[in-house]
Amino acid sequence: MTDCPLAPGFTVSAAASPPGPLVLASPHSGRDYPAAFLAVTRLTLAQLRRAEDAFVDGLVAPAAVGHGVPLIAARWGRTWLDLNRDAAEIDPAMVVDAMPTDPAQASDRVAAGLGVIPRIAAYGLPIYPGRLRHAEIAARLADVHVPYHAAIADRLGAALQANGFAVLLDCHSMPSPAAVYGGAAQVVIGDRFGTSAAPALVAAVERHFGQAGFRVARNAPYAGGYTTAHHGRPAQGVHAVQIEIDRALYMDPSRLVRHAGFDRVTAAFAGLVATLPGLAARLDLAPPQPTSWAAE
């Protein structure tokens, strides 16, 4: 089904030398789709794009470039490959031929049609008219998913070596939550319920967005996905925090068009990237003993 090279499947902005402690990731902002995929899918490009965290890479790129922080940003749309899923989260019912079994195939995300190769797009729309071959899925994973997470691990390793600790900010956008008394959260900070990052660091991120005028929640309804679970290892000095921004704050979700709020959210991210390294350096985020870090 592939009609063009899958690699590179993401972009990586340049880091300062020596690197600071921060690494940024945007796994769901990819907006490219192979032409052969578009020819096979049941859905239009507009329908596919509604699953994107549209423009999130653009929200954080100015801060990344301005402060020499590496930003790893997806190229391909998440309806083609979801980089915030375990590579084994594959729905066997989507595959026409034999494939290895794995416990991750029984995850709630796979059951919902939202595995590493999604079965459905926004509004529950089915993506494919038929089943896929395992070799095609394996190619997407080998060419894009594996290198993407290796790139994150590599930058985190360099940050850890240079600073004694490293912080990954995994950046996303979310649909506007349902209205609640006092106003729904506009920013949700996820730390896998305290397992992917030091509490003091998470509190600092929450405090930043609160002081910027946003309503902030932690771990509800988004506690962090595969990226934070896989890369966050606080005991080894590597901390991973997921940030979800209400996309209505910076764009019209129905038309996927930026609006005037874009600059406000961009400024909030810029302020976080500018101030968090200094704050983090005072939070004792390094492990008790020096640790080695191997890219996976």
In a domain, 101, yes or no: no
Which band of pLDDT confidence, cut at 50, 70 and 90, is reported for residue 184? Answer: very high
In a domain, 31, yes or no: yes
Q: What does the pLDDT read at residue 5?
A: 86
247: nearest Cα among 156, 157, 171: 171
Q: Beta partners for 69? A: none
Q: Beta partners for 9? A: none
Task: Specify the amino acid at residue 89.
Answer: E
Mean pLDDT of 152-159: 98
In a domain, 136, yes or no: no
In a domain, 180, yes or no: yes
Share of the chain above pLDDT 70, in %: 96
In a domain, 190, yes or no: yes
Task: Specify the amino acid at residue 244.
Answer: E
Is residue 248 classed as helix, strand or coil in its secondary structure?
A: helix
- 107-126 tens-digit pLDDT: 999 999 999 999 999 999 99
Check the CA dihedral 109-183-260-212 and report its sign.
Answer: negative
On the question of pLDDT at 135 being above 80, the answer is yes
For position 72, which CATH number holds? 3.40.630.40
- 78-111 tens-digit pLDDT: 999 999 999 999 999 999 999 999 999 999 999 9
Q: What does the pLDDT read at residue 290?
A: 59
Share of the chain above pLDDT 90, in %: 91
Mean pLDDT of 198-209: 98
Count of positions (residues) in the chain: 296
In a domain, 123, yes or no: no
The domain total for the chain is 1
- CA end-to-end distance (rounded Å), the chain: 28
Q: How many CB atoms lie within 10 A of CB 278?
A: 10
In a domain, 58, yes or no: yes
Q: What distance in Å separates the CA atoms of residue 237 and residue 197, rounded to the nearest whole number? A: 9
Among 1-15, 202-216, 275-289, the range of highest mean pLDDT = 202-216
Give the burial class of 17: count Cβ atoms within 10 A of its Cβ; 0-12 exposed, 13-18 middle, 19 or more buried: exposed
Q: What does the pLDDT read at residue 182?
A: 75
DSSP 153-185: HHHHHHHHHHHS-EEEEEEEEEPPPPP-TT---
Q: What does the pLDDT read at residue 47?
A: 96
Mean pLDDT of the chain: 94
- 167-182 tens-digit pLDDT: 999 999 999 988 776 7
On the question of pLDDT at 2 being above 70, the answer is no
- Domain span at residue 152 reads 10-78+142-280
Q: What does the pLDDT read at residue 268?
A: 98
In a domain, 197, yes or no: yes
Within the chain, strands assigned E span: 10-12, 22-26, 71-74, 166-174, 187-190, 216-218, 238-246, 251-252, 257-258
